[in-house]
Amino acid sequence: MTTSTRRGPYVCGIDAALDVVSGKWKGLILWELEEHGVRRFAELRRGLPGVSEKVLTQHLREMEADDLVVRTVYAEVPPRVEYALTEHGRALNDALAPLGLWGSERIRREGRELVDHADAAAMPRPAAV
């Protein structure tokens, strides 16, 4: 199965939430879906520069199992699949918001610049520091 080894007995809510969000692209997927509402597989792929198809599928499936996203398959001739946030996914995003603020402030404090999508697309993983 693709489903990972996680889901230990959680000692607190943070634990549980972090588990659900831990995954290299989960945060960005949530963000993409929040921004655009509904996205197709290839659109998400283009939105997350560097992600491989396998991993994207994997993450999406996990998030579907976690009831964060809905996967809608259209039985059309050129395959079409759409992803959108569920109610819980949206709630998670709301809960993530203050964390995002904290993170932004941290970035600002460190004098590090926010890299936008376009630039990130060009670089693979520059590993600054």
User: What residues line the site for a copy of itself (CB under 8 A)?
Assistant: 5, 7-18, 20-22, 27-28, 30-31, 67, 88, 91-92, 94-107, 110-120, 123-129
Query: Per the structure block, which two tokens stand in for 16?
Result: 């549980």
51 binds DNA (CB under 7 A): yes
Q: Which does 4 bind (CB under 5 to 8 A by kind): a copy of itself, DNA, none?
A: DNA
Contact letters for DNA, residues 93-122 (x by CB under 7 A): ------------------------------
Q: Percent helix, strand and coil across the chain, each rounded to 5?
A: 55, 10, 35
Mark out the alpha helices in 4-115 (DSSP H runs).
13-21, 26-36, 41-47, 53-65, 87-109
Q: Which of 16, 17, 27, 58 binds DNA (CB under 7 A)?
A: 58
Measured between alpha carbons, how far is 83 from 35 in angstroms, rounded to an integer? 12
* Choice between 42 and 123, CB closer to a copy of itself: 123
List of residues contacting DNA (CB under 7 A): 4-6, 22-25, 40-43, 50-55, 57-61, 71, 73, 77-81
